[in-house]
Amino acid sequence: MIRSHKINLPIKLLIKILMLQPAYINLYKTGKLLERIEKAQGLLKQCQICPRRCKVNRLENKVGICKVGRLPKVSSYNPHFGEELPLVGMHGSGTIFITSCNLGCVFCQNYEISHLGEGFEVSSERFAQMMIELQNMGCHNINFVTPTHVVPQILEALLIAVREGLKIPLVYNTGGYDLVETLELLEGVFDIYMPDFKFSDSEVAAKLCKARDYPQVAMKAIKEMHRQVGDLVVDERGIAERGLIVRHLIMPNGLAGTRNVMQFLAQEISTNTYVNIMDQYHPCGLAHKYSEINRRISREEFENALQIAREEGIHRLDSETSYHLR
């Protein structure tokens, strides 16, 4: 006679095991992922995916500011080892660089991709296959860079990828110019949100990315992201499982408005927010046309930004911020 053995696991360990799978798998199993896809597709008919609200019919391949129609465009995909430590781990972050952008900063470090449209259209099936390939390479997550304008297409591809065995966390790596209404469709889809908070001054945003409302939009978006996933949680290896990572690129002459950004994060999000204060700004794209940003930042500017973050109560700073300063 074969006896069955009941295994009694501690409740905390059992919860941990159940939480290991990304949230989108449950959405798929319950049929809610398909519902999200249908809602997102509806936003493409008179496109209102992002704050630009171009209202063009992308289902008929019309294009607005992002210059992307029905199909997504991808510039490249690969394991990336230059991202934040919790994303990279031992095997890299599975990064998919989406072509074009809804923001269009004049100084973009990926100008050829975001402004010039370097990339190629992909079907949902090919998009999904990229995710599977990156997972098979051992990547710890799938990291969508500038995903805002292709949210419906990501969801469509995800449906296929889950069926093919995708089971690692998704990262929403965005410029921060996102509508709360669109982000609400992503609750339970993305385990990790990684927005920029570029500027706290509306006049600077109007000049450098033609989005005067950027600070207000970014604050609302970051609040929604944090509501969904909370502070960053890592596993015993230090690999991100779930939560919020905020990037803040230091600009010359204090144009990023660092103190206001850090005050917002500390006072309205969490003092436990994981923040990457980035020092790699250098003039790219059209930056040479703007005297105030036509230089690298100084070591003093960068160290001052770190000090401001600490003064405002932000203590969880990315430990591998690289020093490119000369």
Confidence of residue 290 (pLDDT cuts 50, 70, 90): very high
Q: What angle do CA 156, 182, 81 make, to 5 degrees?
A: 70
In the chain, where the domains are located:
23-311
Among candidate residues 141, 83, 88, 77, the one with its CA nearest the CA of residue 278: 83
- Residue in the block written with tokens 């010359």: 252
176 pLDDT more than 70: yes
Give the SS3 label for residue 194.
strand
Q: Above pLDDT 70, what percent of the chain?
A: 91
List the CATH code of the domain at 23-311: 3.20.20.70
pLDDT for the residue numbered 11: 53
Query: Which has the higher per-residue pLDDT, 21 or 206?
Result: 206
Check: CB of residue 93 under 8 Å from CB of residue 140: yes
How would residue 14 be classed by pLDDT, with cut points 50, 70 and 90? very low
**Contact, 112 vs 264, CB < 8 A?**
no
Q: Cα–Cα distance between 273 and 264 in angstroms, integer?
A: 11
Alpha carbon 2 to chain centroid distance?
51
Task: Indicate the average pLDDT of the chain.
Answer: 92
